[in-house]
Each structure stands twice: as C-alpha cells, then as structure tokens.
Structure 1
Amino acid sequence: MKNTLLLILPALIAISCAPKDRPEPAPLLGTWKLLTGTTINGRDTSTVDYTQGQEMIKIITPTHFAFMRHDLNGGKDSTAVYVAGGGRVGIKGNIYTE
C-alpha cells in the first residue's frame, strides 16, 4: 500500500502542475478593412457601402474596438471626411456587441 501511494502521489503532483490549455483567441480579433456595415436596431436594418469614395478600418481587441474612416480624395473637395471612434465590446461565442 505504501509503495502504491509513493508511485501515485508524484504522478498526481505532476498532472496538477501541468500548464492549463489557453483558450483560442476569437477569430474576430484583429484589424479589419470594412467593405460594408450592417446595423440592426429592433426591426430596422441599414447597410452602408464603405468602398465608394471612402475607406474604413476597424480594430477589435478582446475588450474594445476602434474605427477610422476617411475619404479617398485626400480631403480636397466637398466629400472630405474623417471619422474615428471606439468603445467597449462584448464577445461571447459568435455574438459580438458594441
């Protein structure tokens, strides 16, 4: 009995000290070039095309997001625009909320 305990105890200690598997990062995290954006608010849905005369990128981390949008004319005419913002995100499974 004593010999069995001496064999099992080191094995249990080794197993309990093994590093735990880290969860895989959400594939949504990173920097993205937005082509279109869809906003759903109750029963209303609106879609914006970000490829016509403008460019937009979005950066998503596990806790926050940031976005930057600018016109492609370098701000030289009446379509000049630069918009930026950010905030907190929630990511649970395949549900993303801002």
Structure 2
Amino acid sequence: MGRPKIPRIICGQPADSCFKPNGIPMTQLEQVSLNPDEFEALRLVDLQGMQQQQAAVEMQVSRQTLANLVKSGRKKMVDCLANGKALMTHRG
C-alpha cells in the first residue's frame, strides 16, 4: 500500500480539456492524460519561468516532487506532439 498523496496547491487551469491534431477524429486518436498537478508544475516552471525550488514552495511539495511532475508532464506533451496523440487535461 502506497503513501497517501499530499494535497497540492493548484491555481492554474487549462484553457481547454483537449488538444489534438487537426483533421483526425477523436475516435481514431490515442489519448494521453495530463494530471492537474503536472499542468500546474509546467505552468509555473515553463510558462511563468519560476525556478523549481520556488515553484515547489508555491505548490507545497518537495523540489524533487516538483521535478518529477515537470519531467512526466513534459514527456506526455512531447509524446502527443511527436506521435499525434490527443492531450487530455482535467480541471483540478
């Protein structure tokens, strides 16, 4: 049994719930889910330009947890861009 997940502070929301390649029906696309905490980590670090330590404080997680969220979020985004998959986002 794993450790209970510590609540994370999530302030940003994605503009839309899905980003997909043009001209391909959703039924033909593989979907990748971007979690709210991954979105928030990417928003703080990549969009707002925060240092990871500062973003970790903002989200109330360790710097290592923040780094893991950024890494997994970036991997999912690049997978979608490189392989033509739909990126699904969920509001926190």
State TM-score, norm by structure 2: 0.22
Q: Which has the higher strand share?
A: 1
The answer to which structure has the higher helix fraction is 2
| Structure having the higher Rg | 1
Q: TM-score, normalised by structure 1?
A: 0.22
